[in-house]
Amino acid sequence: MANLGDNAPPGRLEGRYAAMVVCWLLGNGCLFSWNSMLTIGDYYGYLFPRYHSARVLTLVYQPFALGTLAVLAYNEANLNTRRRNLLGYILFFIASAMVLVLDLATSGRGGLGTFIGICVVSGAFGVADAHVQGGMVGDLSFMQPEFIQSFLAGLAASGALTSALRLITKAAFENSKNGLRKGAILFFVISAAFEFLCVLLYAFVFPKLPIIKYYRSKAASEGSKTVSADLAAGGIQTLPEGDAEDPKRLERLGNKELLLQNIDYAIDMFLIYVLTLSIFPGFLSEDTGSHSLGTWYALVLIAMYNVWDLIGRYIPLIKFLKLESRKGLMIAILSRFLLIPAFYFTAQYGDQGWMIMLTSFLGLTNGYLTVCVFTSAPKGYKGPEQNALGNLLVLFLVGGIFAGVTLDWLWLIGKVFFLNGQFSQSSDLFGGVLLFFIG
């Protein structure tokens, strides 16, 4: 084994592009299974017509993700990152396989028991996501910004890929018997296979890339305890704690200090996702009315969101288009809340073209602002501090998702009040929200 102290910066950054590709694939794996479950929402809508599956599955997923991530972020400094990430990807693989097994075991029948089983799998996806997303973002935060950008782009690409696959499978099986079910089964066969690939990539490929070994060695020399197992997998022996030359060099800010210094970034992440998830996917799946695209309409909206979310995550690679001002980021993020009345009135009075445009803009700004925050926040900190800050930002991101998913039900509450004739068409949502809070 090589020694940590002998690990010099790699000449010409060997493995840089390979690392970016692997990060992109691992980002895909972090959300591929969950996006598959969301994208076959029309199948679950057919199986469970009374259970609002698009909303319920998301609402089940988020508490498990948020609760697990809170525990992991609090104990981040003492966790084995390799074990954490591998556990997450293995759980993704097992849960994806269980969806397939559940569908085959019930022969595609609905019912409460089957729905509860799907909800259990959704919760397992949430636990896996907390392990992988926080662990990977923290790990990549002390490396080159391009790596975390590639991982975040992979997260968005998983949505775009699953949407494209869903459109293809819907077209292929639309006129066949049990077409929806055949498409869903194909989805989760692909999903389980891809998650298994991610397990292999993280276990055997990623830790052996020279540039990854360099940045992990650098973090270990600054006092990080989370990278030891990954360094060992890459053939590097860490120095014993007693061999540290300068104890002050190993000092790091605690989570509280890091959070106070970056509270605006944390709020940014929360607000980005509380808005996005209050609209996507529940509102786009159920509350956009009837249009000429018919059953394709919700699928097209979700596909457009995912594609533009992916595009938005590459825009910050163009340096003069990247927003790094902390005040500018906050203004841009707060401005997005104008999308709430825009979506409401477009759903009531606009045609499908306007709705597709709004959905595309929602995805574009979500991806762009996410990358801007994640790549700007860690600058100027030591490796262990960057790891901790990455975990904290993901915690606020997931918190925003959970709050957004909860608020997403207000669209449904407003619609229910309208259908019951208690409010006029122009005020059903706002009156529903008011009544929800006061009574």
Tens digit of pLDDT for each residue in 320-373? Answer: 999 999 999 999 999 999 998 998 888 888 788 888 999 999 999 999 999 999
Point out which residues pair with 236 in neighbouring strands.
2
Whether residue 434 has pLDDT greater than 90 = no
210-219, 231-240, 390-399: lowest mean pLDDT where? 231-240
How long, in residues, is the chain?
439
Contacts of 371 (CB under 8 A, 6+ apart): 149, 152, 153, 312, 313, 315, 316
Q: pLDDT for 81-117, tens place per residue? A: 999 999 999 999 999 999 999 988 988 888 888 999 9
Residue 174 has pLDDT above 90, yes or no: no
Domains (ranges, CATH) in the chain? 16-237+253-421 (1.20.1250.20)
**What's this model's pTM, rounded to 2 decimal places?**
0.86
CA 203 vs CA 234, 236, 298: distances in Å: 10, 15, 37
pLDDT of residue 5: 44
E strand or H helix at 72: helix 53-74
pLDDT score for 109: 84
pLDDT of res. 51: 82
357 Cβ contact list (under 8 Å, min separation 6)? none
The letter for the amino acid at 416 is: V
Confidence tier at 289 by pLDDT (50, 70, 90): low
In percent, the amount of the chain with pLDDT more than 70 equals 83
Task: Give, for 236, the enclosing helix (H) or strand (E).
Answer: strand 236-237
Q: Are 223 and 249 in contact (CB under 8 A)?
A: yes
Report the distance separating Cα 430 and Cα 74, nearest Å.
38
Q: Residue 375 above 90 pLDDT?
A: yes
Q: Give the per-residue pLDDT at 335.
A: 97
* pLDDT reported for residue 199: 97
Q: What angle do CA 255, 82, 78 make, to 5 degrees?
A: 35
Residues 298-313, buried b or exposed e (16+ Cβ, 10 A)? bbbbbbbbbbbbbbbb
When mean pLDDT is compared across 59-63, 130-134, 350-354, the lowest value belongs to: 350-354
Angle ∠(151,153,159) on CA atoms, nearest 5: 115
54 in Cβ contact with 277 (< 8 Å): no
Per residue in 178-233, pLDDT (tens digit) is 777 888 888 889 999 999 999 999 999 999 999 999 999 999 888 888 898 888 88
